[in-house]
């Protein structure tokens, strides 16, 4: 049987270890779809309901496996729909290959239907971006696209005109310099070790500090045990950026949890009070939460030398894999006897956990979002994959799902896009069919791509989706009030019965509005086979308060109330206490 150009593409993906392609068919990719059909014993096509979901699912697949995620879309609008999910991959360093169609090659740029130059559109989001020029070209660009996406931890894109997809693989034209068989499917990982001289300089800085703090991010995932050994040697608290939530478990004696608006007060204090900072695999973007420049000496470990010193001035940069770099750094560190800085952080965390427990234990009605999210967290399996979305839900996820060793957790970190939660869960469950996968999402984000709950049903993916329903775009509401001093506007949502949505898709759902019923309802949902949705109806007035409320934020909140914020005084009494009420 003869091979065509699409077969070359699909067989290259198989050679590179790709076993899944997420996408949506269209006439611009019919040749590729036929090749997927004839190779379905080796590679799986997962049909989604929106191309954006395909890009998110491929991103999650890459994040959780470390392998290449692949998404496929037709020409024009299909390819355009991928963009948001691909930017999520770019900004969070996920290796994703996007394959798009195009109309007939001899009619490109002649104002034909769906004549969108996707290679130009994708220029900013990609590390490699090309259009197939002829059948012989495929064998050259396909392995290079896979290699570039993996090596650069970014997005590669192949735009494949429809008429070229079905050409005989050997039809050419092939130049004399294009020797057949000169490409390969071999990928070589970086050694990832910093220079010995830099290690000694870094150790001198860290050994010289008296109040050392560690900021760990996504790049430190998989290095948690070594990181704890470094923390023990330096008696240093570990502060976790959100994408690094799973680096060490939240019950580790070394961690003070998250940082930023959805972080903990002890983490803020640690970074504010430290005199030395070790940054491991993080480009945490909120510079205002770092020590003031010049207040702390700093060492940074990152696989990308371009990120050294990006957020904070460092004295020594170590370019290399986090785990291996920490392993070779550790022998250079002098075990510290004085542990007062770590002791203070641990005492502060005990107080913080008491506050969190108080919020999670509330039996008030309407139900607090902290109550249901904490209950979900408690009932997770030790090997669970947990994903979330962007909005107020991010705060509840960050603070009230206590990460355990063996779990994986992620969301859209740097793009912070809404609606990634459900397709992330799909991508994760496809990658790990035997593991528990739970998405904790808000009603605003979930409703954007909720048709893909049917995708989970179609492929019998037993994901559990917890929808926190407050009928608001909550994060935007609080930003309008607290950041600008404006009353809320345009943020109230038309209520949706999400249980009926789940049932209409062929799955099942449970609705909860009573905090007393949380434990039973979550246990029942987790025990049901197949995809299950939990609709948790919560208090819309519950604010995602930062660990420290600044006077400026309080003043803006008061201003929003004076300017007519609905239920403003009730919200103030509910969330901000006497400080706001006195100002009003």
At 2, the pLDDT band (50, 70, 90 cuts) reads: confident
- pLDDT over 80 (residue 235): yes
Residues 6+ apart with CB under 8 A from 222: 322, 323
Mean pLDDT of 86-92: 98
C-beta separation of 113 from 103 below 8 A: yes
Whether residue 366 has a cis bond before it, omega within 30° of 0: yes
Backbone angles phi, psi at 370, to 5 degrees: -60, -35
Per-residue pLDDT tens over the stretch 429-485: 999 999 999 999 999 999 999 999 999 999 999 999 999 999 999 999 999 999 999
At 108, the pLDDT band (50, 70, 90 cuts) reads: confident
- pLDDT over 60 (residue 159): yes
- Return the residue matching tokens 């990308």: 304
At 141, the pLDDT band (50, 70, 90 cuts) reads: very high
Return the bridge partners of 44, or none: 20
Query: How much is the pLDDT for 455?
Result: 98
Q: Give the Å distances, CA to CA, from 116 to 102, 133, 385.
A: 8, 16, 37
Query: How much is the pLDDT for 551?
Result: 85
Mean pLDDT of 481-503: 95
At 584, the pLDDT band (50, 70, 90 cuts) reads: very low
What percent of the chain is modeled with pLDDT above 90?
86
CA-based R_g, the chain, Å: 25
At 246, the pLDDT band (50, 70, 90 cuts) reads: very high
C-beta separation of 446 from 468 below 8 A: no
Return the bridge partners of 299, or none: 278, 316
Q: Over the chain, what is the mean pLDDT?
A: 94
Domains with residue ranges and CATH for the chain: 5-165 (3.40.50.970), 196-348 (3.40.50.1220), 362-548 (3.40.50.970)
Q: Give the Å distances, CA to CA, from 10 to 37, 342, 394.
A: 10, 53, 37
Query: How much is the pLDDT for 109?
Result: 82
- Return the residue matching tokens 């019950």: 251
Per-residue pLDDT tens over the stretch 328-380: 999 999 999 999 999 999 999 999 999 999 999 999 999 999 999 999 999 99
Q: Could you write out the DSSP letters of every residue in 71-116?
A: EEE-TTHHHHHHHHHHHHHHHHT--EEEEEEES-GGGTTS--TT--
Q: What angle do CA 156, 162, 168 make, to 5 degrees?
A: 95
Mean pLDDT of 230-259: 98
CA 125, chain centre distance (Å): 17
Mean pLDDT of 62-84: 98
Q: Three-class SS of residue 157?
A: strand
At 582, the pLDDT band (50, 70, 90 cuts) reads: very low
- Return the residue matching tokens 């994986």: 408
Q: What angle do CA 139, 145, 151 make, to 5 degrees?
A: 135
Residues 6+ apart with CB under 8 A from 125: 83, 86, 87, 90, 155, 157
**Which of 127, 128, 129, 105 lies closest to 115 in space, CA to CA?**
105
Mean pLDDT of 2-25: 97
475-483 contacts at long range (C-beta below 8 A, 24 or more positions apart) = 475/390, 475/391, 475/392, 475/394, 475/544, 476/391, 478/392, 478/543, 478/544, 480/560, 481/556, 481/557, 481/560, 481/565, 482/553, 482/556, 482/557, 482/560, 483/553, 483/556
Mean pLDDT of 478-501: 95
**Poorest-pLDDT segment among 40-44, 402-406, 574-578:** 574-578
Residues 6+ apart with CB under 8 A from 430: 20, 22, 44, 46, 57, 61, 459, 461
Q: Three-class SS of residue 260?
A: coil
Per-residue pLDDT tens over the stretch 536-559: 999 999 989 888 888 888 888 889
Q: Could you write out the DSSP letters of every residue in 272-319?
A: HH-SEEEEES---S-GGGSPPTTTSEEEEEES-GGGTTSSS--SEEEE
- Return the residue matching tokens 């860290």: 206
Read off the tokens for 474: 């909550």
Query: How much is the pLDDT for 105?
Result: 87
Query: How much is the pLDDT for 583?
Result: 42
Query: How much is the pLDDT for 580?
Result: 43
Q: Please state, in angstroms and rounded to a whole number, the distance separating the CA atoms of residues 29 and 6.
A: 9
Q: Please state, in angstroms and rounded to a whole number, the distance separating the CA atoms of residues 401 and 386.
A: 9
DSSP state of 331: G
Query: How much is the pLDDT for 576?
Result: 54
- pLDDT over 50 (residue 400): yes
DSSP state of 361: T
Query: How much is the pLDDT for 191?
Result: 64
- pLDDT over 70 (residue 263): yes
Backbone angles phi, psi at 533, to 5 degrees: -110, 130
Residues 6+ apart with CB under 8 A from 514: 365, 367
Read off the tokens for 412: 């859209």
Helices 196-207 and 322-329: crossing angle, nearest 10°? 70
Residue 354: other Cβ atoms inside 10 A: 9
Residues 6+ apart with CB under 8 A from 248: 216, 224, 227, 228, 238, 240, 254, 255, 403, 405
At 1, the pLDDT band (50, 70, 90 cuts) reads: low
- pLDDT over 90 (residue 115): no
Query: How much is the pLDDT for 577?
Result: 52
CA-CA-CA-CA torsion sign (426, 428, 430, 434): negative
Query: How much is the pLDDT for 178?
Result: 66
């Amino acid at each position: 049987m003869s091979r065509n150009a699409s077969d070359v593409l699909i067989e290259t993906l198989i050679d590179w270890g790709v076993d899944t392609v997420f996408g949506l068919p269209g006439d611009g990719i019919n040749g590729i779809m036929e090749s997927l059909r004839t190779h379905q014993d080796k590679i799986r096509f997962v049909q989604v309901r929106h191309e954006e979901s395909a890009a998110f699912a491929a991103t999650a697949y890459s994040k959780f496996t470390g392998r290449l995620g692949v998404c496929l879309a037709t020409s024009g609008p299909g390819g355009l729909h991928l963009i948001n999910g691909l930017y999520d991959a770019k900004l969070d360093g996920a290796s994703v290959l996007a394959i798009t169609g195009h109309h007939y090659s001899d009619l490109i740029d002649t104002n034909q239907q769906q004549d969108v130059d996707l290679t130009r559109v994708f220029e900013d989001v990609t590390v490699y971006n090309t259009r197939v020029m002829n059948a012989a070209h495929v064998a050259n660009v396909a392995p290079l696209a896979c290699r570039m996406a993996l090596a650069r931890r970014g997005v590669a894109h192949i735009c494949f005109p429809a008429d070229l997809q079905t050409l005989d693989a050997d039809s050419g034209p092939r130049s004399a310099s294009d020797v057949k068989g000169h490409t390969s499917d071999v990928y070589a990982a970086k050694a990832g070790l910093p220079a010995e001289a830099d290690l000694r300089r870094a150790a001198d800085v860290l050994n010289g500090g008296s109040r050392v703090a560690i900021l760990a991010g996504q790049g430190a995932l998989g290095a948690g045990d070594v990181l704890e050994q470094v923390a023990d040697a330096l008696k240093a608290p570990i502060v976790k950026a959100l994408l690094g939530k799973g680096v060490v478990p939240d019950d580790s004696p070394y961690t003070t949890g998250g940082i930023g608006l959805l972080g903990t007060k002890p983490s803020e204090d640690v970074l504010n009070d430290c005199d030395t900072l070790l940054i491991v695999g993080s480009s945490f973007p909120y510079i205002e939460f770092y020590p003031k420049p010049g207040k702390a000496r700093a060492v940074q470990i990152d696989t990308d030398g371009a990120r050294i010193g990006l957020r904070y001035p460092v004295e020594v940069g170590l370019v290399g894999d986090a785990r291996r770099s920490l392993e070779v750094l550790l022998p250079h560190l002098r075990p510290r006897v004085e542990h007062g800085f770590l002791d203070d952080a641990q005492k502060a965390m005990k107080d913080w956990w008491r506050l969190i427990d108080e919020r999670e234990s509330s039996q008030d009605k309407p139900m607090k979002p902290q109550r249901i999210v904490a209950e979900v967290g408690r009932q997770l399996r030790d090997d669970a994959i947990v994903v979330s979305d962007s909005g107020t839900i991010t705060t509840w996820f960050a603070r009230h799902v206590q990460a355990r060793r063996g779990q994986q957790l992620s969301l859209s970190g740097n793009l912070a896009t809404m609606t990634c939660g459900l397709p992330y869960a799909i991508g994760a469950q496809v990658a790990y069919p035997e593991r528990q996968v739970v998405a904790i999402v808000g009603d605003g984000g979930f409703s954007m791509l909720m048709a893909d709950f049917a995708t989970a049903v179609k492929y019998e993916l037993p994901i559990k989706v917890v929808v926190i329903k407050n009928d608001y775009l909550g994060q935007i509401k609080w930003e309008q009030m607290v950041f600008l001093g404006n009353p809320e506007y345009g943020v109230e949502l038309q209520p949706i019965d999400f249980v009926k949505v789940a049932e209409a898709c062929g799955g099942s759902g449970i609705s909860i509005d009573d905090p007393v019923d949380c434990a039973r309802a979550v246990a029942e949902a987790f025990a049901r086979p197949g995809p299950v949705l939990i609709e948790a109806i919560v208090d819309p007035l519950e604010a995602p308060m930062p660990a420290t409320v600044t006077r400026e934020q309080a003043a803006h909140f008061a201003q929003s109330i004076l300017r007519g914020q609905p239920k403003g005084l009730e919200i103030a009494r509910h969330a901000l206490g006497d400080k706001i009420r006195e100002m009003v």
